[in-house]
Amino acid sequence: MDYFHLQASQDTLEGISALGLAHLGDGVFELMVRSWLCLHGKATNERLHKAAVALVSAPAQSRMAHGILDKLTEEEQAVYRRGRNSHTSAVPKGASVGEYHAATALECLFGWLYLQGRTERLNELFEAMMEEKHHAL
């Protein structure tokens, strides 16, 4: 199996919980953030780590997610809602319940897209979020 070029079936995707998709999507999102940071000149380890932590936090993911909601297809919106409405046991310090649910929703969407091998769509959404973030930096 090639874990970088997946094409999971609809049955497989439906069999994975929203939190399972979010777990995977968290890793996908973090890898994309780390790649983006390396390619945008954050060369030292300390700067890379601080910048990555700032971008993958629930409040940051929530803000970025809200910036792309109008770009999501109906199917993507349904997956986003599935992640947002999932029952989580704890909310990390520094994040509101709403921020955490929005971050989980974004991660769920990223996991869902990744499992389908829809890397072009992942890149479109990620670039839209980072373009907005880059202007704010």
Q: What is the pLDDT at residue 42?
A: 65
Q: Going from the N-terminus, what domains does the chain have, and what CATH number goes with each?
A: 10-136 (1.10.1520.10)
> What is the distance between the terminal CA atoms of the chain, rounded to a whole angstrom?
39
Q: Which of 2, 11, 26, 70 is labelled catalytic?
A: 26
Least confident of 39-53, 54-68, 87-101, 107-121: 39-53
What would you measure as the largest C-alpha separation in the chain, in angstroms?
A: 43
Q: What is the pLDDT at residue 68?
A: 95
pTM above threshold 0.75:
yes
> With b meaning 16 or more CB within 10 Å and e meaning fewer, what string describes 12-48?
eeeebebbebbebbbebbbebbbebbeeeebeeeeee
Q: What is the pLDDT at residue 135?
A: 42
Q: What is the pLDDT of residues 9-54, one digit of tens each?
A: 999 999 999 999 999 999 999 999 999 988 887 667 777 888 888 8
Q: Rounded to whole angstroms, how far apart are CA atoms 134 and 137?
A: 5
The residue among 127 and 45 whose pLDDT is bigger is 127
Q: What is the pLDDT at residue 137?
A: 43
Q: Is 26 a catalytic residue?
A: yes
Contact by Cβ (8 Å): 92, 2: no
